[in-house]
Amino acid sequence: MNRNCQILVTGLSLALLSFSINAQWLESQGQARILNDNIDVARNNAVQNALRQSLIVAGARVSSIQEISSGLLTSDRFEVRSQGSVRDIQLLNERHKNGYITVSIRADIVREFEQCSGTKLTKTLVLTEFPLIARSQAATGGIFELGKYTAQQLHQQINRLNGVTRITQLLPLQQQWQQQWQPTANSPFITLANSSNAQYVLTAQITDISMHQPNTKWLGFVSESPLRQFSLNVFIYDGSNGEQVWNKQYQTQAVWSYQRQTQVDVSTSAFWQSAYGAAINDQLSQLTDDINDKLRCEAISGRIVKAAKGQFTINLGREHGIKAGDQLMVIHQGSFIDIDGTRHQTQQISDAKLKVIHLGRYNLVAEPVDVALAGGIQIRDQIVKE
């Protein structure tokens, strides 16, 4: 089914209604599953998904969409945080296939201020599966693999959004080192990032999946369905030095619609379409937005992986937003041992600059801008594109 109509967003501030030379039309697609034949709800979700992509590309972030009805914006308030706002939207196309609805929209994004340069560069993360801190809570339903499949859902959401972040690899459950490691030269986060060709390490702990007992009526008949909690503590670590750069906790609860003795397969679409699975996915959507928001303006960095004949191969490429001719900063890696015998990593910015001369999808070749300054450049030096 095709639709061609224009959606006007009313009640915006005078600043949004005024002409801006920074206005930018962006087209994007959004998709959502049709649950219980509810087309309107699916359309709402698909439009929001498409709009989120446009805003992220433009360097903005949705802080609230008050109301979307039948796929059309009807609210008199539309708030966007950061360097962008929406002036109006066009719904270009709508398709239904295999239980999904797909919409195409065109959004007029007004950039009121200059974007940070990082919005056009893709930051890479390696993701680990999530441990259950209180495994005994998983006994109801037998959902002991919830951490594994929650990480898979997050992996899909981040890469499907096409924001400023991308997961390079999803690793099996790691040991729980979140609370015991400090940023040192031998940090496991540095090892994970290096082995996965990623700039950051993203991991989390599921801290609560307990059940709230339902209230009961006379003679013990259940009066309402039980609620199940979901709490997720998320961490991001810098892969170049092992430092924790971000941490946030997400919490929700939803009806647990299964019988108490039922063993639930958390790998199935049926589970993720249940009230509890959908509530978790809502939190993962917010987490995806938060990660893109946090890392949007961060510089992109990689490493020299090969040096030969005055040229250097670096694990950055076209997929990271690098262009031929770009100049790159060089940061030398070092370490020292403190009085307690702990080794710490140090970084020193080099006077040398590199210029990209050959560009691949995930790798590039660069040569020194000034050969006289290139003597100290070596393998494992960090490379930064600001």
Contact 371, 354 (CB under 8 A): no
Which domains are delineated in the chain?
5-115 (3.30.1660.40), 118-295 (3.40.50.10610), 300-385 (2.40.10.410)
Residue 161 token pair: 């959004």
Q: How confident is the model at residue 180, as a pLDDT?
A: 46
Q: How confident is the model at residue 20, as a pLDDT?
A: 38
Q: How confident is the model at residue 57, as a pLDDT?
A: 57
Residue 373 CA to residue 327 CA, distance in Å, equals 14
Q: How confident is the model at residue 11, as a pLDDT?
A: 28
Q: How confident is the model at residue 325, as a pLDDT?
A: 93
- Where do runs of H (alpha helix) occur along 208-273? 269-273
What's this model's pTM, rounded to 2 decimal places?
0.67
Residue 53, SS3 per DSSP: helix
Question: What 8-state DSSP symbol labels residue 98?
Answer: T
- Where do runs of H (alpha helix) occur along the chain? 14-17, 39-57, 146-161, 188-196, 269-273, 275-295
Q: How confident is the model at residue 268, as a pLDDT?
A: 97
pLDDT along the chain (386 residues), means of 10: 34 31 65 85 80 63 43 43 58 88 80 55 91 95 97 95 88 62 63 85 96 62 77 92 90 92 95 95 93 86 89 89 90 78 73 92 91 87 82
Taken in order 51, 52, 55, 61, the sign of the CA dihedral is: positive
Q: Which residues contact 73 (CB under 8 A, 6 or more apart)?
A: 7, 9, 47, 65, 67, 89
Q: How confident is the model at residue 47, as a pLDDT?
A: 79
Residue 329 CA to residue 386 CA, distance in Å, equals 8
Reference 259, options 211, 302, 217, 322; nearest CA is: 211
Count of residues making up the chain: 386
Q: How confident is the model at residue 359, as a pLDDT?
A: 94
Q: How confident is the model at residue 43, as a pLDDT?
A: 83
